A = this chain, B = another copy of it.
């Protein structure tokens, strides 16, 4: 919240660009207040900073044209996918032009033999997976929201499947990018691996639109596994659940998902999704492999869970039961918010080495109790990543201040444990001070790169770096 600071506006440049774009893009250029507000809207407590206009390019050339016009007048350019980012990524603190990539939603090519595909940035992950279903392929990264693949790339998103399939950094093969000068470049070939120069693909993944606009993405795909099974098991304590996770990972069981819900989240999910799960810390798992393989994995895990006092272990290869369970997990955010109607959920995103996970989750839970917050906790615990969600009355300045303090305290704690302030949401506006705490002098190198690629700081200013 405190990080959504207004930056100086280049009024002359903005006025010129508005005139040029209006003439050039007609109906595909909008300046109505509602549309602008919606494009600066954040689902979090960070206040809205609307852009001056929204433009809807239809192809890479049009994106390049918009960027060239903005570059000429030194006016900010902010990429927009579906607006599900959580750290003020789409805000316009210095005004400027929002480039909404919704219309660029074509699946350009699927190379089934190579297990890759090429998509435009506005394609959403559900759209892609629906398209792929008949070919026995899927794209595994699943941040929960039906985000655009351009946005997921720009924020280095991950989610429940990352423990097995990695994050966006592991699943993007190559990108087409419009640079801050308006040039169109390709960062890599379609080869599965390469040592050809600096890894611009990985530099762009997670750069949050500050180094260029992503206009095409080559993604790795996976074959749909022969079999999937899911499992659940409850524990007396979060600590016991975390110990079981650690052992499972060390044992090398290739879990596809391993998710923690604390007792409060289970309670919320039961109410929201009409389930009757035991209201205790819960692990939800999914296994991918052959029929024999997923059975073996589930049973091995069951044995580990038992060692750590797990109860009510159940596993199934029924797709219906599996989907019900994962739908409940995906709805955990809404279920949690429903615990306190009218409140805002403020999601933290720390990620720590797994050996410190239990200690970190416990400390967070204690602190939240002390502060008197209703705050469910869920975690992508196989990666050491978890989200607390204190539910805040935004009209109560005392609560807001306490929540702000909590977020800072938790980020500091994670950093002190060798972890990061953000496992998957990104820095955006909200976490810029913590990035400096976490990486110190490395941030100077980031700033040098930004200055070299975008000397006029027109690409999503005020994000990641304090520029």
Contact = CB atoms under 8 A, between A and B. Distances in A.
Q: How many copies does the complex hold?
A: 2
9 contacts: A157-B195, A167-B193, A189-B419, A191-B420, A191-B423, A194-B351, A196-B422, A199-B203, A199-B205
A284 interface: no
A318 interface: no
A443 interface: yes
Contacts of A292: 292, 296
Given A203-B199, A296-B290, A452-B448, A189 B422 contact: no
A426 B248 CA distance: 36
A251 to B, nearest CB: 7
Interface stretch (A25-33, A402-410, A434-442): A434-442
Interface of A: 111-116, 155-158, 162, 166-167, 169-170, 179, 183-200, 202-203, 205-207, 211, 222-223, 225-226, 246, 249-252, 254, 290, 292-293, 296, 300, 349, 351-355, 383-385, 414-415, 418-427, 431, 435, 438-446, 448-453, 464-465
Given A186-B440, A226-B252, A353-B111, A384 B191 contact: yes
Contacts of A251: 223
A385 B419 CA distance: 35
A187 B194 CA distance: 21
B193 A351 contact: yes
B419 A190 contact: yes
A52 to B, nearest CB: 27
Nearest to A225: B252
Given A156-B195, A192-B385, A445-B453, 9 more contacts: A112-B250, A115-B250, A179-B441, A184-B441, A189-B415, A197-B446, A198-B449, A198-B464, A222-B252
B192 A426 contact: no
Given A199-B202, A200-B445, A250-B223, A384 B420 contact: no
Q: Residue among A190, A192, A420 with the most chain B CB within 10 A?
A: A192
Given A203-B203, A223-B251, A439-B188, A420 B354 contact: no
Contact of A169 (B199, B225, B383, B439): B199
A184 to B, nearest CB: 8
A381 to B, nearest CB: 11
Given A196-B438, A292-B292, A439-B188, A354 B206 contact: no
B158 A196 contact: no
A285 B199 CA distance: 29
A250 B112 CA distance: 8
A441 B183 contact: yes
A214 to B, nearest CB: 13
Given A113-B250, A442-B200, A446-B200, A193 B354 contact: no
A354 B111 CA distance: 10
Contacts of A111: 353, 355
Nearest to A423: B193
Contact of A193 (B162, B199, B421, B451): B162
